[in-house]
A and B are shown apart, each in its own frame.
Chain A
Amino acid sequence: MMKRRFLLATAALVATACADPTLVAPADRSYGALFDQMWHETDLTYSMFAVKHVNWDSVGAVYRPRAIAAQSDFAFARVLSDMLGTLHDRHVSLTPGAGAMPMSYVAASDLLPLDFDSTLVERTYLSRRLSAAVAPHFDAGWISPSVAYIRIANFVGDDWGAELDGVLDSLQGASKLVVDVRSNPGGNYELALDLAGRFAEQSRVFGYVRIRNGPKHDDLTDPIAETLRPTGRRKFTGTIYLLTNRRVFSSAENFVLALHQLPNVVTIGDTTGGSSGRPVTRDLSNGWTYELSTWIEYDADHKVVEDAGVAPSIVVPRSGSGLAGKRDAVLDRVLQLTASGG
């Protein structure tokens, strides 16, 4: 009898533990509700309304009727994407379903002809290239007997910063070094700083960020210093030419900001793209996702990086027509400088 009661009590406890409580109401997946969800979440999360001079209430009032009137998921996605596009922020995008292409903002300057071709550098300028097996994330070699060249195409992934130590080992003997991040779209912030730290001999503050931390548009943290810290085992102490262009974005701009603080670094080329937002992904209740910027980044002089970019020390104007004459004007300028002892 006693055992039976005990078993009954245990069974009751098990049954209770398996109950499905309801903590929030199931989501409404109508176009109106999904629109409201995205508009509200963007209102709560996006960090640069003031920088972009956007009245989000007005944007919502304009786009909500269009969202409700959408006749298909595709049309609805276009409305949402157009609404996000009013933020003029490359870090803001909509991905309408797993596997779908993100719908992102494209600035007019992104459509201008490229003034950089990595294959032209490889074909015309680079000799004694390092094997891709030694440095799979870098394109490295020599552009003159004393000037070494390293190209970092992106900062995607983790934990390959130490690869740069091997590259620098292989380029021993160079008196000058070209670090080319042109058309680098960014990637992993921590990785970019890890790589930048391999050129630093001491810690330096290179910028500041303010992170959205409350429901009001101006709820932002106090400026948080971004610090470049030395990493790696080998330092290159000679002159470094850091090549930039308008297609340098995001964590690649963090890399440029960080190296810009080093006394032996000369930035050369064009201003960077001006796109720094530390995006976070958000879910929509229909399985779509979107990304929103959550910080405002400032350079060491407290100037906003977004839209302004990082200007080089030496400007090489873009041709406007791409790679005229099949020469790389920025690399030619570097070779001029190195030949003249600059």
Chain B
Amino acid sequence: MYSKYAARHALVVLAAVPAAALAQSEPCARPTSVQASFGLSQNDRADAAINNTQYQGRGPQLSVGAAANVRSVCVEAFATGGAHYLRPLNGGFGSERVLDGRADLFVLKPVASSATNRATLALGLAAEVNVTGTKHSFADGLNTSNYRLGVGSIGPAFDASYRMLGGRVFAVATVPLVSVVDHPYVAASSLDPTPGLRVASWSSLRGGSGQLGYERPLSRYLIGTVAYQVSGLRYDDARPVRTLSQMLTFGFRLTRPTEARR
């Protein structure tokens, strides 16, 4: 009952998108739409501000997103977040509770497509903000400390898709060129709550994120998606950070009937 209401409500929202924008949608790989997906993520982290051990954990992950085609420019936004319990690898000690959130904004310009639009390629820019809060429980079982890592990046992005298997296979990738990082040197304190932002270039912060997926129309309004996302970070600070996040999600994309393409 509730899902029917939500679906109808989403369609009303979609109908409110200017017709001029929808008319330009064809060059973009994804139609103007809203999407929600749910899945499982695996977080691997090694943050020397905490210790030199790699921690790993899996947990549920929720993502929401929207895509709009505006004057032949494909604008896509995603937000995802999850809570994870991480255990040490390689016989380490302690444990971590991680709360992370990430938001991405892609602005892509289609640069090539086959005559039948079977294959598309778009290039552009991506802005990404990733914030992680970690509560680390030490091996003594008594003490905990809170740490945070915030990274905002801008870099090039590409989006390619190919129609096959009754749907569309797509790949999206971005790498950070310039980043702003908040990574406290020691555990967070009530006396220094303000982020100590530092600019990091490619020489000190390397990473990237990508998504490989498949989507297929399930009805006139509904597109089913399955995607594997991976993002990694290598920050060579005085306290180096290495993270790798993998996520497998299943979800739905709601679009106007004319936008659901085969």
Query: Are B228 and A17 in touch, CB under 8 angstroms?
Result: yes
User: Would you give the shortest CB distance from A87 to chain B, in whole angstroms?
Assistant: 16
Secondary structure at the A interface, as helix, strand, loop or mixed, is mixed
Q: Which of A21, A23, A289 contacts B143 (CB 8 A)?
A: A289
Q: Kindly state the separation between the CA atoms of A278 and B145 in the bound complex, as whole angstroms.
A: 12
The interface stretch among A4-12, A113-121, A263-271 is A4-12
User: Would you give the shortest CB distance from A58 to chain B, in whole angstroms?
Assistant: 23
Secondary structure at the B interface, as helix, strand, loop or mixed, is loop
- What count of chain A residues pass the 8 Å CB interface test? 46
Q: B202 to chain A: which residues have CB within 8 Å?
A: none
Q: Kindly state the separation between the CA atoms of A220 and B45 in the bound complex, as whole angstroms.
A: 27
Query: Are A214 and B92 in touch, CB under 8 angstroms?
Result: no
Q: Which of B42, B141, B166, B228 contacts A13 (CB 8 A)?
A: B228
User: Would you give the shortest CB distance from B227 to chain A, in whole angstroms?
Assistant: 8
Beyond A285-B92, A289-B143, is A24–B46 a contact (Cβ under 8 Å)? yes
Q: Kindly state the separation between the CA atoms of A215 and B186 in the bound complex, as whole angstroms.
A: 11
Is A283 interfacial (CB 8 A cutoff)?
A: yes
Q: Kindly state the separation between the CA atoms of A17 and B192 in the bound complex, as whole angstroms.
A: 37
Is A154 interfacial (CB 8 A cutoff)?
A: no
For chain A residues 201-232, which have a beta carbon within 8 Å of chain B? Answer: 209, 211-215, 219, 221, 224, 226
For chain A residues 273-305, which have a beta carbon within 8 Å of chain B? Answer: 278, 280-283, 285, 287-289, 294
Q: Which of A13, A21, A24, A45 contacts B186 (CB 8 A)?
A: A45
Q: Kindly state the separation between the CA atoms of A17 and B56 in the bound complex, as whole angstroms.
A: 12
User: Would you give the shortest CB distance from B44 to chain A, in whole angstroms?
Assistant: 6
Residue interface mask B164-197, A partner, CB < 8 A = 1: 0110000000000000000001110111100010
Query: Are A17 and B92 in touch, CB under 8 angstroms?
Result: no
Q: A159 to chain B: which residues have CB within 8 Å?
A: none
Residue of B nearest to A24 (CB): B46
Query: Are A280 and B145 in touch, CB under 8 angstroms?
Result: yes
Residue of B nearest to A47 (CB): B186
Q: B40 to chain A: which residues have CB within 8 Å?
A: 17
Query: Are A24 and B52 in touch, CB under 8 angstroms?
Result: yes
Q: Kindly state the separation between the CA atoms of A27 and B53 in the bound complex, as whole angstroms.
A: 8
Q: Which of B50, B93, B191 contacts A287 (CB 8 A)?
A: B93
Q: B45 to chain A: which residues have CB within 8 Å?
A: 23
Query: Are A281 and B145 in touch, CB under 8 angstroms?
Result: yes
Is B218 interfacial (CB 8 A cutoff)?
A: no
Is A190 interfacial (CB 8 A cutoff)?
A: yes
Beyond A37-B52, A98-B140, A280-B187, is A2–B246 a contact (Cβ under 8 Å)? no
- Taking A20-B89, A21-B44, A287-B93 as given, write out 16 further A-B residue pairs in contact, using a Cβ cutoff of 8 Å, ordered by the A residue number: A2-B166, A13-B228, A17-B248, A21-B244, A23-B45, A23-B244, A24-B53, A24-B242, A95-B140, A190-B190, A214-B185, A221-B192, A226-B191, A283-B53, A283-B139, A289-B143
| 9 nearest A-B residue pairs (beta carbon) | A26-B90, A23-B242, A13-B228, A283-B51, A281-B143, A287-B93, A23-B46, A24-B46, A215-B238
13 A-B pairs within 8 Å (CB atoms) are namely: A9-B214, A14-B248, A17-B42, A17-B246, A23-B46, A95-B140, A98-B141, A211-B186, A212-B185, A280-B187, A281-B138, A283-B51, A283-B94
